Amino acid sequence: MSQNEVPSDLAKQITTSLSIAIDGVCLTVKKKNNCAIYVDIIPETLKKTALGKLEPKALVNLELPVTTKTFFSGHLVQGHIDGVARLKSVIKEGNSYILKFLIPHTLSKYVVKKGSIAVNGISLTVIEAGKNYFTIGIIPYTWDNTMLHTLNLGDFVNIEVDILAKYLEKLYEKD
């Protein structure tokens, strides 16, 4: 299998018209050939996400949609990206890695210590939350089985903040 192919066990579950998350971005499969999938990406998606910054053959996270038969684990991740963050640092701490990301102030208000955040579609817990940054801890399994280990300092990732915070803000908006 080359780096740009979908693993065969995952490819068997993918069908045309299925919603699939690619680095956390919800996209619709328009065509499938063996271990390759094809999607359309509109200009708005390229503006809001880091997909346009990917290099050919870049390793990405692929996730199937949750169904009524799927075991639910983590927090609600919709695949509706709120913006991008930039990797500032990676520190090895014991058996884990602590990643620090710079985030726009417009999104940082939704990020809280011990809250949920999705980085490239990976449901994670925030360790620290500042005015323009947040940190996350990555366990060995997640490090080895996602694309996070391929990130370089300065790389961009897709961020989806917790949907509940956005709904609460909307409910309490002053007209």
3-state DSSP call for residue 93? strand
Per-residue pLDDT reduced to its tens digit, 25-41: 999 999 988 778 899 99
Per-residue pLDDT reduced to its tens digit, 2-32: 445 788 788 888 889 999 999 999 999 999 8
Domain 83-171 annotated CATH 3.90.79.10: no
Residue-level pLDDT at 2: 42
Per-residue pLDDT reduced to its tens digit, 124-133: 999 999 999 9
Domain ranges in the chain are: 8-63, 83-171
Residues with Cβ within 8 Å of 79's Cβ and at least 6 positions away in sequence, in order, are 19, 21, 24, 25, 26, 27, 121, 160
Kindly provide the residue ranges of all beta strands, DSSP E only, lying in the chain, ordered along the sequence. 19-22, 25-33, 36-39, 62-63, 83-93, 96-102, 116-119, 122-129, 133-138, 156-161
Residue-level pLDDT at 67: 74
Check residues 43 and 33 and name the one with the higher pLDDT.
Answer: 43
Q: Confirm whether 8-63 and 83-171 share one CATH topology.
A: yes
* CATH node for 8-63: 2.40.30.20
- pTM, two decimal places: 0.89
